[in-house]
Amino acid sequence: MVRLILIAVLILLTACGNGVLPPNSNLIKKAIAIQLEQTQQQLTEQVDLDFQGFEINHLTISKKIPLMMEHLPAYHLQGVYDLKFNIPQHDLKQPQKPFDLYMQIQPEGKTWRLIIPDHNSQAADRVWRSYLVYQ
């Protein structure tokens, strides 16, 4: 009886989404870090600040929307986190910073990629850049 209930639950979970569990909080933090590193490089060049790293804390995921991208399961993830930039002489803190990102699992099912729309492409012909998110 218990076995039948478990099978029914698994079938319902698979039917309701893309059949893949969403990435965990650590993977999402690493994906956010990839985005921040790109922004940090641009800021360093423009304002000549000496960033010495950052911390992502208190990640809260508010939406996990399963979808398919290029025939692979993916998730559209939204939420907030607290950000702390380490700068000489002081720390810059940004609480409740929103995030909105796409993550796609790779065919072997072991690795995730951060998927970012290229802002130079048109909506109809959207081009996506992808970055491997290390576990």
pLDDT along the chain (135 residues), means of 10: 46 53 94 87 70 89 94 96 86 91 92 88 77 88
How many CA within 13 A on the CB side of residue 126? 10
The predicted pLDDT at position 124 comes to 67
The predicted pLDDT at position 103 comes to 97
The predicted pLDDT at position 13 comes to 42
Copy the structure tokens of residue 101.
């990102």
Cα Rg of the chain (Å, integer): 18
- Token pair 């590193």 in the structure block, residue: 37
Domain layout of the chain by residue ranges:
19-41+48-133
The predicted pLDDT at position 59 comes to 97
